[in-house]
Amino acid sequence: MQAEIICVGTELLLGHVVNTNAAFLARELALLGFDLHHTCVVGDNEERLCEALARAIERSSLVITTGGLGPTLDDLTKKTVARVLHRPLVHDAATSAALKTFFGTRPYDGNQEAQAYFPKGATIFANNHGTAPGCAVTADNGCLVMLFPGPPRELEPMFRDMALPLLEKKMGASIVSFMVRTFDIGEGNAATRLGSLCEQQNPTVATYLGAHNEVFVRVTAKAATAEEAKALALPAVEEVKRRLGDVVYGVNVESLEEVVVGLLRERGEEVATAESCTGGMLAMRITNIPGSSAVFRTGLVTYANETKTRLLHVPSDMLARHGAVSEEVARAMAEGVRKDAGSTYGIGITGIAGPDGGSAEKPLGLVFLALATPDETYCCKMQPKGIYRGRNFVRERSAGKALDMLRRYLEGKPVQHELI
């Protein structure tokens, strides 16, 4: 079934806004099994929008518009859809009442009230995160036209809560998906290990490059009910986990740090950090998780040798003999912060993030990461090549690697996974 997206807004044509709605909707439509052949952007111009709508409604079974539903004069999507479909705009008393309640004592005029008019016969999507409601209306040729507000924080929940059931009904199916998250495997390598899984149709298995350069694997199944779809998907999720092995850190979780904080909380344990090249990024990621105060009390950013000695008791002759970027110093940092903070675990990171400071013996991107535990201290060495030696990349990857070492230890898996 062919679908099409029309994004309305001069701000998109001026480049003031990056069009994340198109990517969000495209992913959702692909999951539902729609074929998206076109997306386009038009400005707040009635003639051009009219032309784009007419063409789309003629050739597609589903047309989704974003933007142009607000209270200002250049918000003309509803009016233009009504014109193309030869439907009048009709007033909806319930929407009007809801808007007036929302505005309370603030000024409410005819422009605001315009948000309570919809093409005749439309199903109204209430907006629980803003003012302009969306709607769905079926054209005479059977094409379903759905209108959404432009702000992603309004569009995304409206799509999931109100449009998805209609679309599932149109496709005669329920969609369930699982996101398997990994650390320390490249997308090519992951695809090779998944092999033929990526070619099957229901459930589908696809790789994505996520935040922090992590590879995600999405497993999606379609069936008559959500329960049947879940039953279809779960064996594939297990097979993905089996093929990828211990690089998988979670399914349907938000981040590596969420998993690590969760594992520590379960065990009633704590971690403390000592960072050099990452400069606080590891502590920041841990404390990004609500409730992390139960497992994290102390983070030290020891950016100078003097600070490593003063706060972590790294011996100055060790620094002189091996240099700050060395396995010995990483271990001493991890053990030092663990002892100092009185925590269960200590992490030490020291490396050369660049752009200066590299040498033949200690090249740019060289990082040592140590994890001190009650029984022993583990150490990993990272030595990326080529474009992977950029300052941001090295810092991000080091913070992620440190979290992953701890995750592996807590899950009883080998801490020292070979690095890509």
Residues in contact with a second copy by CB under 8 A are 12-20, 22-30, 36-43, 45, 48, 208, 273, 275, 277-284, 286-288, 290-293, 296-304, 306-307, 311, 341, 354-356, 391-392, 395
Min dist CB 363 to a second copy, Å, is 16
Q: Are 138 and 144 in contact (CB under 8 A)?
A: yes
> In the bound complex, what is the minimum distance in angstroms from residue 342's beta carbon to a second copy?
9
- 92 vs 275, which CB is nearer to a second copy? 275
Residue 272 or 410: the one with the smaller Cβ distance to a second copy is: 272
List of residues 6+ apart from 400 with CB closer than 8 A: 183, 212, 213, 214, 256
Name the residue nearer to a second copy (CB basis): 62 or 283: 283
* Main-chain phi, psi angles of 219, to 5 degrees: -110, 125
Q: Minimum distance between the CB of residue 140 and a second copy, rounded to whole angstroms?
A: 25
Element (H, E) at 311: helix 305-312
Pick the closer one to a second copy by CB: 279 or 323: 279
Q: State which amino acid sits at residue 119.
A: P
Cβ 145 to a second copy shortest distance, Å: 19
CB-based contacts of 272, cutoff 8 Å, min separation 6? 296, 297, 298, 299, 300, 337, 338, 340, 341, 343, 345, 346, 347
> How are beta strands 123-125 and 215-223 bridged, if at all?
unpaired
Contact 400, 417 (CB under 8 A): no
Smaller CB distance to a second copy: residue 247 or 286?
286
Q: Backbone phi, then psi, for 262, in 5-degree steps?
A: -65, -45
Residue 79 Cβ vs a second copy, minimum distance, rounded to whole Å: 19
**Residue 231 CA, distance from chain mean position:** 25
* Cα→Cα distances 413→231, 318, 375, 405, Å: 28, 31, 15, 9
As a whole number of angstroms, the distance between CA 170 and CA 407 comes to: 43
**Given the complex with a second copy, which of 195 and 291 has the nearer CB atom?**
291
Taking each helix axis from N to C end, the angle separating 226-244 and 187-194, rounded to the nearest 10 degrees, works out to 110
Which residue number, 119 or 354, has a Cβ lying nearer to a second copy? 354
Least distance from C-beta 30 to a second copy, angstroms? Answer: 5
Closest approach, Cβ 5 to a second copy, in A, equals 9
The total number of residues shown for the chain amounts to 420
Q: At closest approach, how far in Å is the CB of 14 from a second copy?
A: 5
Whichever of 119 and 203 has its CB closer to a second copy, that residue is: 203
